[in-house]
Structure 1
Amino acid sequence: MKTEYDVVIIGAGASGLMCAAQAGKRGKRVKVLDHGPKPGRKILMSGGGRCNFTNRRVSAQNYISSNPHFVKSALSRYRPEDFIDLVRQYGIRFSEREHGQLFCTDSAGQILDMLLAECRKSGVSLAPKTIITRIERDRSARGFQIRTSGESINAESLVIATGGVSMPAAGATPFGYKVAEQFGIPVVQPRPGLVPFTVQPADKTVLSPLAGISVKARACTGSASFEEQLLFTHRGLSGPVILQASSYWQSGAPVTIDLFPDGNIGELLETVCKTRPKRHVKSVLAEYLPTRLVQARLDEKLLNCPLNRISRQALKTVVDAIQTWNLQPGGTEGYRTAEVTVGGIDCRRFSSKTMESNDVPGLYAIGEVLDVTGWLGGYNFQWAWSSAWAAGQAV
């Protein structure tokens, strides 16, 4: 069977559904193909089931890309306020958490239901459980021929909205990268992002007993620095501050961790020494940090030393152990638990205004499949909405 559409979108995730609805509103005949049984699986899993659907404080600085200016056009033309307006139109209740993060009050399913309703209103055709067997340029006209196990589809425009390769259990595959490479478009080497660190065997022996402890910390790697909660796990380190740093971390590089980011441990101990000189180091630190963590970072003899007997060198040892902890991660937990993929289809080969390929007319790429990675906190969803909206106005 052969069918004709104006637009075929590969991927029924956040960006694919958003783009489909926008193109459909413009009167385009749109079909969305997805190999999975149901659309929007990552939407349903996001934000602990409540979907951190955007962030009020979005800027280009919140994204990683080989072309750091690429996101500016789309983000300025479809803003967080625009998506919030859509959410309000559907009566979806939401709450704002720290750092401008917006979450559904009830369920992530409401965001998916909203996108599907927008698609229905626009006459979009959804085709789950569809395996694409071949994609070719239609040499007789401007467009593409997409072959599946059930039909052959001709389309003027083809949109890659397959996402990254993180969370393979949710259906993530490298199919979108393969389509780009088929048409001669390079892919920036993908790697896991927003992912917990594993640690070296020696560090694991010391740190695994701390599993479950959470503290505010600052983590720095390369030129990136973040300050949020750090969580010790049985395998290594996690928590928002580690997830943020992981997207910037390069294999083999150290991560510097400050476990007392709101003050100076050395100055604190010197101040206490003036009024209570016989207090032990451990008793002072225990007022600010979990005892088990302090014991893991410092020798017991030093911890039991009275403040008035601590040497300058010993004081520096305390400061270094708590505030300049240079950790060499063993690696990350990989795509299995990564929330995003860093890298992807090279966005330097696409229009930042329309998301159309500069080399292959009619071919578009949107969302996470591109070499654009947002911070933790709703930034990746906003990129999905903005890039999809931009493409939806152009296909």
Structure 2
Amino acid sequence: MDRRPRLNDRFWIRRLRRWHAVTWVVLGLAPSTIGLLNDSGAPKYWSLALLAVLGGCYTAVEAFPGNPVVRPRTFLYVLVVGVGAMAALPGGGAALFLVSLPHFWVFGTGPRQAIVFSGAAAAATVTGSTLGHRWDEEFFTGNVVFTLTGYAVGALLGLWVHRVLQQSDERVGRLSAELESARRRLAEAHRREGAAEERERLAREIHDTLAQGFASIVVLAEAARAHLGSEPAKSTQQLLSIEHTARENLAEARVLVGSAPGSAVAAGTVARTLRRTLDRFAEDTGLTVSAELPDVECDQQTRIALLRCTQESLANVRKHANASTVGVVLTAYPYGVELEITDDGRGFVVEESHGFGLDGMRRRLAELGGDLTVTSSLGDGTRVLAMVPTNGQV
């Protein structure tokens, strides 16, 4: 898990450290410096020099955080010595120690180091404050009490803040783990969904191409065998149709397995493609086929969709309709292309039909933004209307 602060976290960290620096200067260094202005003698200058050293070290640590020479731990050592010395010099005392307490938690590597360094600073401050005083009379001066109290409160407050931040990090870690787990589950769901869609697509393609072709081969083979002795010429024609259908199936199989660049079944205009299919159907079945197929410009996907709808409808006519006449009308409109296929067969109840073919046609057209309308009733034949939008390009 990436534990680096996010951009927003870094922004707030920088702002907090900036405010802490301002607070330390305004409430720590500045009052000590101002208090020394009216003093005189060598201690005054020692105090001012020491304050300058503390300010310079802090500035160096903040300005060069990656420099191996200017280390935060070195600054903490200087700060411990500095607050202790200032407690013994004019202008110093518990106030500077209290204002400096956050430094030990900001620059320390953990709670233990922060407590140790701040304790050392407290001891140094107490020692500096008691220099020159009698231990049995004035040990517990105001500076000493404030220093010890501030150290205790600072340690408790620092531990509490550290614990809060630790719990926050743990929550962030749990949320990150949950997010990563959810991401993996989502990716797996997308993978399964993609695999299911691909299986559905392959099943539809196999049904519309290979399965229909094999069904035609079976029907033609049965008819050729029945007429083999009595009508050899007709049997020969049917055998030629079987060969042609088998070659088409072989080409489609190569496309499906990816060994061929694309299907050539829908090559040319949609009218020419549908005309070839209808001629083959009429030749194989002997049914009367009427067609109105004007030249309509459409893309490859639309041609294939209309061809598959025609093949599926003709296959249903051959297997179920017991029809004598089939009509096919292709019409171009400003909003798209419509293909109407009708037959005078026995018909069926549309609501009771749950075949794969009709559902496959609907899904294929829906992928292109089109739709399929099937109208039929028992004894009245069937009407299939496929519409594919062309975005005004007809």
Q: Which has more strand, going by share of residues?
A: 1
Q: For the superposition of Structure 1 and Structure 2, which TM-score range results when normalised by the shorter chain?
A: under 0.3
Instruction: Normalising by structure 2, report the TM-score.
Output: 0.19
Max radius of gyration: which structure? 2
Question: Using CA pairs below 8 Å that are at least 6 residues apart, which structure has the higher relative contact order?
Answer: 1
Instruction: Normalising by structure 1, report the TM-score.
Output: 0.19
Q: Which has more helix, going by share of residues?
A: 2
